[in-house]
Amino acid sequence: MLRDQAPIMPVEIAPGVYGYLAVTYRAVVYLLRNNPHRFAKDPKHWDALNHGQIPPDNPARAMMQPRDNALWKDGPEHARLRSAITESLARVDTHALAASVTQIADQLIDAFASAGQADLVTQYADPLPMQTVMDMFGCSHELSHRAISAVSRLFNAGEDAARANAELESACLELTDLKRRRPGRDVTTYLIAAGLNNAEMVQTILLLIGAAAPPTSSLIANAKRRILTNALLANNVHSGISSVAAAIDDVLWDNPPIHNYCPLYAQGHQIVEGVSLVPGWPILVSFAAANGDPSVLSMPGDRAGNRGHLAFSAGVHGCPAPTLARLIAETALERLLDRLPTIELSVTEQELTNRPGTFLAGLTALPVRFDPEAHPHHHGR
Ligand code: HEM
């Protein structure tokens, strides 16, 4: 176990990229609570990046290099950009959001319902949050299609990542222009009203897409996996004794969608729990290890409704949208249960594999089968 070694230890984050990883609940909370005055978020403090030692195709680079948005700022600049986000997300009509998720869920289910089988990662958990976010931004079908295609090429970090990035930025700018001319009841309009300029709009929309979609996809897939593979939970979910929300809480504790992240940089030489931290090195926090820390672990049965986990991080950079994330995941999972009551895993649990990588949790596939005759059509709600 990593934790048996030290609360914070030196690690190789990605090939040739060195830093620290905080693995106890106490060390993680200490680091997050002392951001930004002792531990800054801005990667301008990252020595290896400043010295040109991180090649452009290193997987750590896409996740850790600075961008001009709230995630990578400290102090007043962070507060200003973040409050534009929190003000805008607070204006989201949650009833309309749930209706939009249900509609997207139905379209996705309709596309595979008659086949009697599906991969719930590529055909449901992955596309649903992305389409939901596009809807929250008030994107037209065509613009949303273009942006989603660019995002998936960007996430796949293929050869045309630079072109995909340029296409995505131009789609975000087009969306901003459109909403400046014709405001709507959507997050793009709310961000404009919060006073962001065009460059800030583009970077903030990109941040929201990147921060919202992948972890919500992972949460949906892993909660569904849990419901499918845990007979007790499956029975409870169907009989209404326990709820989908309990499966979600379990995943947020045991397998948080963002395993390790929030790179921080010591401001001067710092000693935390006896560990000496050299400035200039990134310090990642392990949300996954902290949640599993035996010194805080609640009894498994106590988890439903227990929000003491760190899946949404904490402190000034903590996720501003846990309620929306839960709402999207819960609605998506409820709809799947309503529409496909006979669903079961079509491989053994041991055959399920996780996506590789340091930062994000996620399944590569979740193959299922079901009776195509049992409620294959939705009746509109
Ligand atoms: C299950 C789903 C989600 C999980 C587990 C999650 C988790 C997190 C975590 C751990 C962070 C901190 C990252 C860091 O400091 O490096 C974060 C930040 C953030 N999240 Fe989420 N998130 C989820 C969904 C969402 C959604 C749906 C939205 C927007 C609608 C969102 C928007 C953001 C933003 C804007 C930040 C940056 C905040 C800042 O730096 O001040 N997240 N999230």
Ligand 1 binding pocket (C-beta < 6 A) is 70-71, 82, 85, 89, 207-208, 211-212, 215-216, 219, 257-258, 261-262, 287, 311-313, 317, 319-321, 324-325
CATH classification of the domain holding 16: 1.10.630.10
**Atom 11 (ligand 1) nearest CA:** 319
Average pLDDT of 146-170?
A: 79
Contact 111, 152 (CB under 8 A): no
Q: What is the pLDDT of residue 381?
A: 44
Q: What is the pLDDT of residues 4-45, one digit of tens each?
A: 679 999 999 999 999 999 999 999 999 999 999 999 999 999
Whose tokens are 């709402």? That residue is 327
Peptide bond into 36 cis (omega under 30): yes
Range with lowest mean pLDDT among 105-114, 289-298, 317-326: 289-298
Contact 220, 332 (CB under 8 A): yes
84 CA from centroid of ligand 1 (Å): 15
pLDDT category at 233 given cuts 50, 70, 90 is: confident
* Cα–Cα separations (whole angstroms), residue 45 to 88, 97, 113, 219: 30, 39, 51, 32
Higher local confidence (pLDDT), 357 or 132: 132
223 within a domain of the structure (yes/no) = yes
**Atom 14 (ligand 1) nearest CA:** 262
Flag whether pLDDT at 256 surpasses 90.
Answer: yes
pLDDT category at 296 given cuts 50, 70, 90 is: confident
**Atom 20 (ligand 1) nearest CA:** 319
Number of domains forming the structure of the chain: 1
128 CA from centroid of ligand 1 (Å): 17
31 within a domain of the structure (yes/no) = yes
Domain that holds residue 40: 2-55+95-118+214-369
282 within a domain of the structure (yes/no) = yes
User: From the centroid of its chain, how far is CA 284?
Assistant: 16
pTM, full prediction: 0.94
169 within a domain of the structure (yes/no) = no
92 CA from centroid of ligand 1 (Å): 16
Q: Which pairing describes strands 117-119 and 275-277: parallel, antiparallel, or unpaired?
A: unpaired
Ligand 1 atom nearest the C-alpha of 324 is 27
User: 328, 340, 339: which is closest to 368 by C-alpha?
Assistant: 340
Q: What is the pLDDT of residues 313-345, one digit of tens each?
A: 999 999 999 999 999 999 999 999 999 988 999
Three-state secondary structure call for residue 320: coil
Q: What does the mean pLDDT of the chain come to?
A: 91
81 CA from centroid of ligand 1 (Å): 14
Ligand 1 atom nearest the C-alpha of 262 is 16
Q: Which pairing describes strands 270-272 and 344-345: parallel, antiparallel, or unpaired?
A: unpaired
pLDDT category at 311 given cuts 50, 70, 90 is: very high
Flag whether pLDDT at 300 surpasses 70.
Answer: no
Q: What is the pLDDT of residues 162-210, one digit of tens each?
A: 788 889 899 999 999 999 999 999 999 999 999 999 999 999 999 999 9
Q: What is the pLDDT of residue 110?
A: 96
**Atom 6 (ligand 1) nearest CA:** 312
299 within a domain of the structure (yes/no) = yes
**Atom 26 (ligand 1) nearest CA:** 212
List % helix, strand, coil for the chain (3-state, nearest 5).
55, 10, 35
**Atom 25 (ligand 1) nearest CA:** 212
User: 348, 356, 122, 111: which is closest to 228 by C-alpha?
Assistant: 348
Higher local confidence (pLDDT), 248 or 62: 248
342 within a domain of the structure (yes/no) = yes
75 within a domain of the structure (yes/no) = no
148 within a domain of the structure (yes/no) = no
Contact 361, 132 (CB under 8 A): no
319 CA from centroid of ligand 1 (Å): 4
Q: What is the pLDDT of residue 298?
A: 57
